[in-house]
Amino acid sequence: MTQSQLKITNPNVFRKLFQCLAKFVDRVHFDVHDDGIRIRSIDPHDFCYVDLALRKSFFEGRLPTRKISFGIDVEKLSKILPHLASAEQILMNIDEEALEFEATKKWRMAFRIGYLKEDPYDLPEPKKIFYDASFEIPANEFSEIVNTASSVSNEIDFSLSGDKFQVQAATGNHSFYAEPLGKLRLEEKEPKNISSHAILSYLKTLNPLVSESGRVRIWLGNEKPLKIDLEYSDKGVFSFSLSPKREQIRPKKERRGTSLPRITVTRFPEFLLYLANCPAGENVGMLRMTNLETSGGDYSRLGRMLDFTERIRGKINLTKKGEQFVSLYKENINQAKLFLHRNALSKIKSYKLMIRCLKKKPMPPEDLFVEINSILKKRTGMKVDRQDLSTLLGLATWCGIIDRKLALYYFGKRGERNE
């Protein structure tokens, strides 16, 4: 039963919004209420927190009086929207089980997307951040600065010293520098030197959305996420908070042995569910074609590390333990998560060490990285790199053992768990 039917007033902006999101997040959380629609997500590497507010004026029609919340695979949604671009009218129908888009051209077409069984981004409210300064610049100037800086580096620095504002990007002895000729209207809360930085590939991804906005507001703070607000007339605000973490440049090397896979952990259950429907196993090439495997075979490797999968005559098969996980996942997701967590504790030493460290005290990823490697160095002489730690945190987050809030991790907030 449809609880709400909304006409999208600007399908082009709606399409750009989700096609941009699909480039760096895989799933999004919707909160639908009578004052509008809020959409949130975090990219798999914890570099970008997304918070989109679509006001009532973005739609025509009646929003539900009772709040409806659900998760959507944004990649599926982004693939549908181009087919609706030339429609005379697009309606969005919301019910208890699925999100449906109805388009009218010469034919009436409808695309229906079921809600996720497990919604990883139904997050608590992030901590309120008190920024040191903010300012607005025209959207076209912002895009030009971003595009120019990206020709030099993949990181950009914004700095403010007194009334002097500048933008810099550098790689080795190659650099870019810019400052406004006129005076910016700064809203500075504290008279001090302020510096923020961001990864340019994320900002470049937003260019199609920036072009739909009149002005861009930038929020700065030392050791704080760089926040970008895109105001779309009176219909919505698209906010993106970019982590102050620096991008880690990893040397290219063959991925093998005991190093951890480079994966989006939330897709791992989908990989196992697919294999459950292949009693004779599946070729790695076919798994890659269906976007269920990476070029390096990382999902298969994680499956082998956990004793969930095995390779037989060139095909990937589920083990008995893998079949047990899939059966639990279909019947009780929480039991499946606990099963995966306990298996990771017994199979992956660095995972067990991470959980023990977080049990002692909550700490941000950088402190956790130092703590784990200090212990490993004393015990084994080995270490875990930052990407490996990101995979471990992803596993524990999906299992519900730790919670995530814009790259801040803390243990056992939503109920006590036993190791």
- pLDDT digits 0-9 by tens, 226-250: 999 999 988 999 999 988 765 544 4
Sorted by sequence, the CB contacts under 8 Å of residue 354 that are 6+ apart come out as 368, 372, 389, 392, 393, 396
pLDDT at 396: 85
pLDDT at 419: 41
Half-sphere exposure of 292 (CA within 13 A, CB side): 18
Closest C-alpha among 279, 202, 285 to residue 241: 202
| Whether 59 contacts 7, CB under 8 Å | yes
d(CA 384, CA 114): 38
Closest C-alpha among 387, 403, 340, 350 to residue 372: 350
pLDDT at 214: 84
Closest C-alpha among 289, 262, 399 to residue 344: 399
> If phi over 0 gives left and psi between -120 and 50 gives alpha, with beta otherwise, what is residue 172?
left
pTM, full prediction: 0.62
Closest C-alpha among 230, 200, 219 to residue 140: 230
pLDDT at 223: 83
Mean pLDDT, consecutive 10-residue stretches, the chain (419 aa), reads: 82 86 85 93 81 94 90 83 78 90 87 86 79 90 93 89 86 89 74 84 89 90 90 91 65 41 69 86 78 80 90 90 91 90 90 84 77 82 76 82 50 38
pLDDT at 250: 42
Instruction: Compute φ and ψ for 348, nearest 5 degrees.
Output: -120, 105
Q: What is the largest CA-CA distance in the chain?
A: 70
Domains and CATH numbers, the chain: 2-114 (3.70.10.10), 133-242 (3.10.150.10), 265-411 (no CATH)
Tokens found for residue 235: 């219909």
